[in-house]
Structure 1
Amino acid sequence: MHDFVLGESIPPDTEHAVSVSLPTWRSNVGYEEGEEWVVGSMTTGYPRFFIHRSIQAFAKDIVAKHARPDSIAFLFPTPKIAARCVSFIRTCAPPQILASLQVIHLVLDAANPQSRPLQSLSPSVSAVISSKEGFPFLKQYWQHTGDGISSRRAEFCHGLFRDGLLHKDDSHGNYVVASPKQCKGPRRYQRPSLDAGNPTMAPSATKTQSPDRDSGVGSDIPESLQETSRFLEERFGRNLDVSFVEPAKSAIKRRIAGALTTDRELTASPVPEQDMKSNTRGIVNLREEDVYLFPAGMNAIFNAHRALLGVRGHLKSINFGFPYVDTLKILQKFGPGCVFYGNASESELDDLEKRLQGGERFLGLFCEFPGNPLLTCPNLVRIRQLADTYDFAVVVDETIGTFANINVLQYADIVVSSLTKIFSGDCNVMGGSAIFNPNSRYYSSLKSFARSGYEDTYWPEDVMFMERNSRDFATRVDRINANAEAIADVLRANILIKDVFYPRYNESRENYEVCKLSGGGYGGLVSVVFHKKDQAVAFYDAVATAKGPSLGTNFTLTSPYVLLAHYQELEWAAQFGVDPDLIRISVGLEDTDYLVHVFKSALEVAAAATVTR
C-alpha cells in the first residue's frame, strides 16, 4: 500500500489526478479552515473545488497579456458558457465587481498556417476576468456548474497561447459592461496510468502513447485528421490520435446505454445502430444520440436542469432526498428555486402529493439512487406515478448505484451520471453523461432544445482517457460489489459502530430491489457512523487506504465525507440524519482478505483509543 503524504495527488504522481491526500482527521479540518499547512501542501484537489495548477498558470498569463495586473480570470470552453457565467455574476455580485468584469475570447489564429491542422480540435478558451474581489462569485459558478475548462484543455491551449497560435477574437465582443444588480482486479488495473511521468502538453513534454496507438486502425482516416495527429506528435511531443475521438465518444455512449458490454479495442468503423436494440436499460428504441457527454458529472446535472427550464418554463424544482451538495445549489441558485425533501421518505411523498393535489406545479424532481452519503433509495415507482399524473419531469442521478447494478431509466425522463467515478475508476479524468428517455413525454422538446442549447465541450484527450478507462467497467463493478459487501459485514459486526449505511441493509432496500438488475449488486459505497467521535477519528487516522475526496476509484478511498462536503452547515445536515462524523468508504478492487484485514486493524486502533481516553 502506498504511504500517501499530505497534499499528494491520488493516484500518486498523476498530473491530472482527481483526488488529493488528506490522511488525517485534523488535515480535513485544516483544509476546511483554509490553514496554510494543509492548503499550501496540496499539489492538486478535486477539480471543481481546487483549480488545477495548469489552469491557474494559463489564467495568470491571460491576465498578464490582456487585463489589469490585479485581476483574476476563470476559464471556460466557449463564449456561450462565459456569457452564462457573467449572467450569474450579475445576479449576486456588488456593483464594483460588475464594473470590473471583462471577457476575453481566445481562438486559433486562422491566418497562421500552423493553426490549420488543429481546427478539428476547436482549442478555444473564454476567460471571464474580474477584480480579485470577484473570486468567490466566479468560484461559485465554476464549482456548481462544472462548466470550467479541464486541466488537459488548459495545458494544450496554454501551449498554443505561448506560441502565438491563440489570439483574441473580437467577433463575440470581448468586453462586458455589467449593469449593477444585487442579489487487484482486471488486467487494466495493473497497468501504470498514462499520466505516469507527469507529462504536460508543452512542446518539451515527454511523449506518451495513445491509448489505441497499436490497434492497427487509421489507414482510412481522412487526410486532415492524419495531418492533425502528425502535428500534435511532432510539435507537442504527444501522440493524441484524433482520428479515434469520435469512435471513442460512440463507444462511451454505447457503454452508458448498456449496449456495448465487451472489452474491445476501438475501430474506425462504427458499431451498427441495430446493436443498440439490446441493452441493459431495457428500452429498445434507445439510440446513441440520446446519450449526451459532458466534461463533469455536475455539468450533466446543471444542463439537465437548464434544458428543463428551457422547455417547460421557470417552475420550481423538487430536490428529493439528501443530495450531493452542488445539486441542491444548482436548483436553488439557477432558476426560481426548489422545494427540498431531505429524507426521501414516504411521508414526504405524501406531502408532495398533497401539494400537487392543491394545484402546485413543478419543473421536475431531482433525486439520487442511492443517495449520498446515506445510500437511501427513493420510491421511484411512486414518483413516476405522481410525475405522470401531475406533469413534472423526473431526473435521476445513478452515479452511486451505477447502471451495471441498477436500471432507473424506466422511471426517469433524464438519467444523469458522473463518469468520473466508477465508470472511469482510474481517478485521472472527469466526465459526465445524461440520457434522454425516448419514451418520455418531454423527449421531443428536450431533443429540440439540445439541437441549439447543447455544446459538446468534452475535450478530446479527456474523451480518449475515459474510453480507455471504462472498457472493463462491468467487470470491475462485480468485484467492487463483492468487496463492499464484505466490508459492510465487518463494520456491522463491530460493537464500536452505531450505523452502517449500505443499500442491502437500509430500510429502503425494497426500493433498490425494484431497480436492481438480475446480475447486479449493491454498489461500492459504504458509510459508517461510530458511537463516539474519538473512535471515528482514530479509525480514520489508522485505516491503511488512500484518504481523500471523490469515490468510485479502483482503489479503496476513505473520507470523512460530511466534514468535507458540509463543513459550514453541519447542523443543517444533521437534521436529515447525516452525522457530522460519518465516514464514507469507496471500496476498490484490492484482494478481499487484504481489505478485511485493513479495516479490522483500523477498528482495533479505534477500540484501543477509546480505552486510553
Structure 2
Amino acid sequence: MPRFSIGESIPPDTAHAVSVSLPTWESNVGYEEGQEWVVSRMTTGYPRFFIHKSIEAFAIDVVAKVGAKGLRVMLFPTRQIALRCANFIRSNAPPALVTNLDVVHLVLDTVNPSSAALEPVFPTISAVLFSQETFPYAKQYWQHTGDGVSSRRAEFCHGLFKDGLLRLDDGSNSPTATQSQKLCRGPRRYRRMSSLDAGKKSSLLGNGSPVRPAAGMGDVQETSRFLEERFGRNLDVSFVEPAKSAIRRRIAGALRSDHELSTSPLPEMESNSRGILNLKEEDVYLMPCGMNAIFNVHRALLGSRGSLKSISFGFPYVDTLKILEKFGPGCIFYGHASESDLDDLESRLKGGEKFLALFCEFPGNPLLTCPNLVRISQLADQYDFAVVVDETIGTFANINVLQFSDVVVSSLTKIFSGDCNVMGGSAIFNPNSRYYTKFKAFARREFEDAYWSEDVIFMERNSRDFASRIERINTNAEAICDVLRNHPLIKTLYFPRYNESRPNYEVCKLPGGGYGGLLSIVFHHRAQAIAFFDAVDTAKGPSLGTNFTLTSPYVLLAHYQELDWAASFNVDPDLIRISVGLEETDEIVNVFQSALKAAESVEIAK
C-alpha cells in the first residue's frame, strides 16, 4: 500500500486530485481546528472545501487587474452564477460588509483573431469581489452549491488571461454564446430534438440569447489543432459533445461501458437498464459536481412548483441539508429515516401541510440506512410532493431507485469516475413523473452548461469500466465486512446488507447487483478507533468511491462543529468510514486484519 504524507494529494502527484492525505486521527483534528502544522502542508483538498491553488493564483491576478486592493475574489464559470453568489452574500451578510461587493466578467477579446478558435470551449469567467470580512459568506455559497469554477477551467482561462485573450468585459460586447451556454446543448450534429423541444423555432441560452449555428467539422478540427498547438492542452474539442453524450447514456443505462468515442452521433436510445419507459438522453443533465446537481434540482423544484418547504429524510451529507435550509423557505428534517419518521410525516400531510419535495440518499451517508422508497412514493402520489433520491453510494449498477423517484441525482466524482481526479454530477428527470413537463421547461429557461470541457473528457474516459469496477468493489466490501462484523472490539458495523433497513434495499436491488463499496464502523472505545485508524494501511482522506480503498474519521471531518447534534441522530463522533477499492481481495483483507491487531493492543482502563 502507498504511504501518503500529511497534505499530499490523493492520488499523489495529481494536479487536480479530489482528495488529500490526512493520515492520522490527530491530523484530522488539526485540519478541522486550522492548526498550522496541518494547514501549512496542504497542497490541495476536497474542491468544494479547499480552493485550489490554480484558482487562487487566477483570483490574485484578477484583483491586480481590477485594481481592487484589499479585496478578495471568488471565481465562477458564468455571469448568472456569479450574480447568484453576489445575491446570496447580500441576503446573508451584514449590510456593512457588502459595500465593496462587485461582480466583473472576463470574456474573449473578439478583436484578437485567435479568439474565434476558442469560442467552442466557452472559456468565460465571472468574478465576485468582496472584502476580507465577507469571505465566510462567499465560501458558504461556494461550498454548498458547487457552483465554483473548476481547477482545470481556472488553469486554462488563467493562461488566456495572461496572454491577453481573456479581458474584462466593458460592455462593448453583446451577450454571445461564449458568455452562456445552454445545459447539455452542443453542436447541432449531436442534438436530437426531444418532444418537448418540438415546434420551437430556435434554441435559447440561459440568458435568452439565440444559440449560434453549429460549426462545421472542419471548424472543430481547426479549433482542436489550435488548442493543442497553442496551449498544449489535452482538449480535443471534436470529442467534447460525443463525450457528454456517452456519459449521459452510460448514466441512463443505455451504453456499453467500454464504448469508444466517435464524432458520429449515436442512434436514438431504444432501451435502458433502469427499466424506465420513455427515458431519453436529454433527460440526463450533467453538472460540475454532485452537490451542484442537488442545488440545481432544488432550484428547478422551487421554480416550477413554488416556494414550499422541503423534507430532508435520513441523516444526509452535510451540504444537502444546508441547501434546503438556506436557499428557499427551509425544510423539516427527519434524521433517522425510520418508519416512525414516516408516520409523523404522514400525520403532517393529513393535517394539510404542503411540501415541495422529499430529498433522501439511498443508502445514506455514513450510516448506510435505506429509507422506505415504496411508502415514500405512495405518500408523494397521494399528497403531491416530489421525490429526489441521491444514488451516489448505491450506484445504478447495484440498485434502481428511479422507479420510485421524480429526480435521481448522483456525484459522478465518486465511483462513476473512480480515479479521484475530476469532479462531476448528474440529475435524471423521470419522464413518467407528473412534474416532468414543468421540470424540463425550467431547465430550458434557467440551466446553464457550466461543466468544463476538459473535465468532461476526463470523466468520460474514467467511467468506461465503471460496471466491472463495481463488481470487484462489491466483492471486496463483503470480504472486509466478514473481517469486521463480529470482531469483539467493534460495537457497530453499518452496511446495507446487515442494517435493519435491508428490506428497503432489497426492493431496489438489481438481480445482479451487490451492496456497494461503503461501510462504517464504531468501536467500543475511542482509543481503539484511533489506534485502528492510525494503523490501517490505506489512503486516508476525504471523498469516497475511489478505485483504491480510502478510510476516514468521517464524522470528525464532516461535523466537527456539530458533533453533539450528529450524535443525537445516532451518528457517533468516532465513526470510521471505509470506501472500498479495487485491491486484491486477500491483500485488502490483510490490511484490515493488521489494523485490528493494532486496536487490540490498546489497553482500556476499567
TM-score w.r.t. length of structure 1: 0.91
**1:473-529 deviation line (CA, Å, top 9, x unaligned):** 000000000000111111112110000000000000000000000000000001000
Structure 2 residue aligned with 1:279: 272
Deviation at 1:309, TM superposition (A): 0.1
Most deviating of 133-142 and 259-268 = 259-268
User: Matches of residues 120-269 of structure 1 in structure 2 within 5 Å?
Assistant: 120-171=120-171, 222-269=217-264
Q: 1:471 to 1:492 in 2, by over 3 A?
A: same
C-alpha contact (below 8 Å) 1:105/1:172 kept by paired residues: no
C-alpha distance in 1 between matches for 2:379 and 2:234: 52
Q: 1:481 to 1:172 in 2, by over 3 A?
A: farther
Structure 2 residue aligned with 1:27: 27
Among 288, 294, 319, the residue aligned to 1:301: 294
C-alpha contact (below 8 Å) 1:72/1:130 kept by paired residues: yes
Q: Which letter does structure 1 place at the counterpart of 2:251?
A: I
Query: Can you give the 5+ residue segments of structure 2 that lack an aligned partner in the other structure?
Result: 175-214
Structure 1 residue aligned with 2:193: none
Among 518, 521, 528, the residue aligned to 2:514: 521
Task: Indicate yes or no: 2:44 matched with 1:44.
Answer: yes
Q: Which letter does structure 2 place at the counterpart of 1:534?
A: A
Q: Which letter does structure 1 place at the counterpart of 2:483?
A: V
Task: Indicate yes or no: 2:482 matched with 1:489.
Answer: yes
C-alpha distance in 2 between matches for 1:264 and 1:442: 33
Deviation at 1:227, TM superposition (A): 1.4
Q: Which letter does structure 1 place at the counterpart of 2:220?
A: L
Deviation at 1:611, TM superposition (A): 6.0
C-alpha distance in 2 between matches for 1:481 and 1:414: 25
C-alpha contact (below 8 Å) 2:257/2:463 kept by paired residues: no
Q: 1:362 to 1:611 in 2, by over 3 A?
A: closer
Deviation at 1:270, TM superposition (A): 2.0
C-alpha contact (below 8 Å) 2:493/2:522 kept by paired residues: yes
Structure 2 residue aligned with 1:368: 361
Deviation at 1:172, TM superposition (A): 10
Q: Report the RMSD for the aligned CA atoms in angstroms.
A: 1.4
Deviation at 1:453, TM superposition (A): 0.8
C-alpha distance in 2 between matches for 1:225 and 1:81: 27
Deviation at 1:407, TM superposition (A): 0.3
Task: Indicate yes or no: 2:503 matched with 1:506.
Answer: no
Q: Which letter does structure 2 place at the counterpart of 1:550?
A: S
Deviation at 1:96, TM superposition (A): 2.2
Task: Indicate yes or no: 2:455 matched with 1:462.
Answer: yes
Task: Indicate yes or no: 2:482 matched with 1:478.
Answer: no
Give 3-state SS (helix, strand or coil) of 2:286's partner.
strand
User: Matches of residues 1-16 of structure 1 in structure 2 within 5 Å?
Assistant: 1-16=1-16
Q: Which letter does structure 2 place at the counterpart of 1:257?
A: A
Structure 2 residue aligned with 1:583: 576
C-alpha distance in 2 between matches for 1:165 and 1:30: 42
Q: Which letter does structure 2 place at the counterpart of 1:224?
A: D
C-alpha distance in 1 between matches for 2:20 and 2:13: 11
Task: Indicate yes or no: 2:424 matched with 1:431.
Answer: yes
C-alpha distance in 2 between matches for 1:138 and 1:102: 12
Q: Which letter does structure 1 place at the counterpart of 2:240?
A: V
Q: Which letter does structure 1 place at the counterpart of 2:158?
A: H
C-alpha contact (below 8 Å) 1:261/1:474 kept by paired residues: no
Among 560, 564, 567, the residue aligned to 1:571: 564
Give 3-state SS (helix, strand or coil) of 1:349's partner.
helix
Structure 1 residue aligned with 2:207: none
Structure 2 residue aligned with 1:101: 101
Task: Indicate yes or no: 2:315 matched with 1:322.
Answer: yes
C-alpha distance in 1 between matches for 2:537 and 2:417: 23
C-alpha distance in 2 between matches for 1:612 and 1:230: 69
C-alpha contact (below 8 Å) 2:290/2:410 kept by paired residues: yes
C-alpha distance in 1 between matches for 2:360 and 2:385: 13
Q: 1:409 to 1:172 in 2, by over 3 A?
A: farther
C-alpha contact (below 8 Å) 1:229/1:242 kept by paired residues: yes
Structure 2 residue aligned with 1:206: none
Q: 1:60 to 1:608 in 2, by over 3 A?
A: same
Give 3-state SS (helix, strand or coil) of 1:127's partner.
strand
Aligned length: 566
Structure 1 residue aligned with 2:351: 358
Q: Which letter does structure 2 place at the counterpart of 1:142?
A: W
Q: Which letter does structure 2 place at the counterpart of 1:424?
A: S
C-alpha distance in 1 between matches for 2:172 and 2:279: 37
Q: Which letter does structure 2 place at the counterpart of 1:161?
A: F
C-alpha distance in 2 between matches for 1:476 and 1:610: 39
Structure 1 residue aligned with 2:181: none
Deviation at 1:236, TM superposition (A): 1.0
Q: Which letter does structure 2 place at the counterpart of 1:570?
A: L
C-alpha distance in 2 between matches for 1:439 and 1:402: 21
Moved over 2 A (4+): 170-174, 610-613
C-alpha contact (below 8 Å) 1:558/1:586 kept by paired residues: yes
Deviation at 1:237, TM superposition (A): 1.7
Q: Which letter does structure 1 place at the counterpart of 2:512?
A: G
% same residue? 74
Q: 1:566 to 1:458 in 2, by over 3 A?
A: same
Structure 2 residue aligned with 1:65: 65
Deviation at 1:221, TM superposition (A): 6.9
Deviation at 1:569, TM superposition (A): 0.2
Task: Indicate yes or no: 2:449 matched with 1:453.
Answer: no
Q: 1:408 to 1:537 in 2, by over 3 A?
A: same
Give 3-state SS (helix, strand or coil) of 1:594's partner.
helix
C-alpha contact (below 8 Å) 1:8/1:42 kept by paired residues: yes
Task: Indicate yes or no: 2:536 matched with 1:540.
Answer: no
C-alpha distance in 1 between matches for 2:277 and 2:376: 23
Structure 1 residue aligned with 2:334: 341
C-alpha distance in 2 between matches for 1:611 and 1:336: 48
Task: Indicate yes or no: 2:413 matched with 1:420.
Answer: yes
Query: Can you give the 5+ residue segments of structure 1 that lack an aligned partner in the other structure?
Result: 175-219
Deviation at 1:594, TM superposition (A): 0.4
Deviation at 1:610, TM superposition (A): 2.9
Give 3-state SS (helix, strand or coil) of 1:609's partner.
coil
C-alpha contact (below 8 Å) 1:480/1:587 kept by paired residues: yes
C-alpha distance in 1 between matches for 2:10 and 2:26: 19
Deviation at 1:612, TM superposition (A): 9.2
C-alpha distance in 1 between matches for 2:306 and 2:170: 33
Q: Which letter does structure 1 place at the counterpart of 2:38?
A: V
Q: Which letter does structure 2 place at the counterpart of 1:222?
A: M
Q: Which letter does structure 1 place at the counterpart of 2:233?
A: R
C-alpha distance in 2 between matches for 1:237 and 1:512: 47
Deviation at 1:59, TM superposition (A): 0.4
Structure 2 residue aligned with 1:186: none
Task: Indicate yes or no: 2:588 matched with 1:595.
Answer: yes
Give 3-state SS (helix, strand or coil) of 1:514's partner.
helix
Give 3-state SS (helix, strand or coil) of 2:569's partner.
coil
Q: Which letter does structure 2 place at the counterpart of 1:101?
A: L
**1:67-123 deviation line (CA, Å, top 9, x unaligned):** 422110000011110111111111111122211101110010011101110011110
